[in-house]
A = this chain, B = another copy of it.
Amino acid sequence: MRVSLPKKTLADVLSHIERIIPQRSSNPALSLLRLELAEQSFTLTGSNMELDIRATLKADVESEGIIALPAHVFSQVVRSLPGELVSLEVQEREVHITSGSYHTNLQLSDDSQTVIPDFPPAASYTGSLEANVVSAALGQVRYAAAVAEYQAVMRGVKLELADDKTRAVATNGFRLAYYHSEVSSGLAGELILPAKSVDEITRIFADGTVQLAFEDTTLSLRNAIYSLNVNVMEGEFPNYNAVIPQEFALRVRLDAKELVDIVQRVALMADKNSNNRIDIFVKNGQMQLSAEGGYGRSQEALDVNQEGSESEMLLAYNASFLLEALRPVSGNIYLSFPAPTSPTVLTSEKDSGYLAMVVPLSL
Contacts and interface: CB of A to CB of B under 8 A. Distances in A.
A295 B106 contact: yes
Nearest to A69: B295
Given A82-B261, A261-B82, A296 B105 contact: yes
A73 B104 contact: no
A94 interface: yes
Contacts of A19: none
Contacts of A106: 269, 295-296
Contacts of A265: 77, 80-82, 102
Nearest to A292: B105
Nearest to A76: B268
B295 A80 contact: no
A44 B104 CA distance: 56
Interface string A295-318: 111111110000000000000000
A102 B295 contact: no
A113 interface: no
A277 B313 CA distance: 68
Query: How many copies make up the complex?
Result: 2
Contact of A268 (B104, B105, B297, B299): B104
A105 B302 CA distance: 19
A15 interface: no
B101 A300 contact: yes
Interface in A74-133: 76-77, 80-82, 94, 101-107
Contact of A102 (B73, B80, B105, B300): B300
B266 A102 contact: yes
A104 B296 contact: yes
A70 interface: yes
A292 to B, nearest CB: 9
A78 B97 CA distance: 53
A268 B79 CA distance: 11
A264 interface: yes
B298 A102 contact: yes
B297 A104 contact: yes
A81 B105 CA distance: 56
A48 B81 CA distance: 45
Interface of A: 70, 73, 76-77, 80-82, 94, 101-107, 261-262, 264-266, 268-269, 294-302
Given A82-B262, A104-B268, 17 more contacts: A73-B268, A73-B295, A76-B268, A77-B268, A77-B298, A80-B264, A81-B265, A101-B301, A101-B302, A102-B266, A102-B300, A103-B299, A104-B297, A104-B299, A105-B298, A106-B296, A107-B294
29 contacts: A73-B268, A76-B268, A77-B268, A77-B269, A80-B261, A80-B265, A81-B265, A82-B262, A82-B265, A82-B300, A101-B301, A101-B302, A102-B262, A102-B265, A102-B266, A102-B300, A103-B298, A103-B299, A104-B268, A104-B269, A104-B296, A104-B297, A105-B297, A105-B298, A106-B269, A106-B295, A106-B296, A107-B294, A107-B296
